[in-house]
Amino acid sequence: MTDPSIADSSATPDGASVPDTAIPDAETPAAQCPYCSRPFRTEQACTLHLGDAHGETWTDDERAAYEAAVDDESDDLFVFHLKVVGALSLLYAVYVLAYMIVLGLQG
């Protein structure tokens, strides 16, 4: 159940609600679900949708594509996590170095 007191993040200025999955009119979808005709901006998103929403009716080729897409997504997520850890480590090192410089200037 949705709470009507919470503003819809996808609401347009005139108050009309637009689904988060809507593709703008000026943009053509890169892929479309063969089972429910839902449009997607990328082939990978469509492949992941097939596995999540239509896993009981998919073909062997679609299953292989889904497994490859899940592996790719997992790899992309791992790289993102490495970047976040690297950025936080660099930020911490700069903070400690700046603190050491300030302490050195005071004494």
Sequence ranges of the domains in the chain: 31-106
Residue 47 near residue 62 (C-beta atoms within 8 A): yes
Query: Which of 31-45, 47-61, 86-100 tops mean pLDDT?
Result: 86-100
Distances, alpha carbon 94 to alpha carbons 5, 15, 25, 82, 88, in Å: 43, 46, 46, 18, 10
Q: What is the mean pLDDT of residues 6-10?
A: 45
Residue type, 54: H
Query: Which residues, other chains included, contact 86 with Cβ-Cβ below 8 Å and sequence gap of 6+?
Result: none
Report pLDDT for 12: 53
Report pLDDT for 55: 81
More confident residue, 15 or 58: 58
What band does 54 get if pLDDT is binned at 50, 70 and 90? confident
Instruction: At 52, list the tokens.
Output: 């999540």
Residue 40 near residue 31 (C-beta atoms within 8 A): yes
Which of the 8 DSSP states describes residue 15? S
Which of the 8 DSSP states describes residue 28? -
Mean pLDDT of the chain: 82
For the chain, the residue count is 107
Residue 98's CB is within 10 A of a number of other CB atoms, namely 10
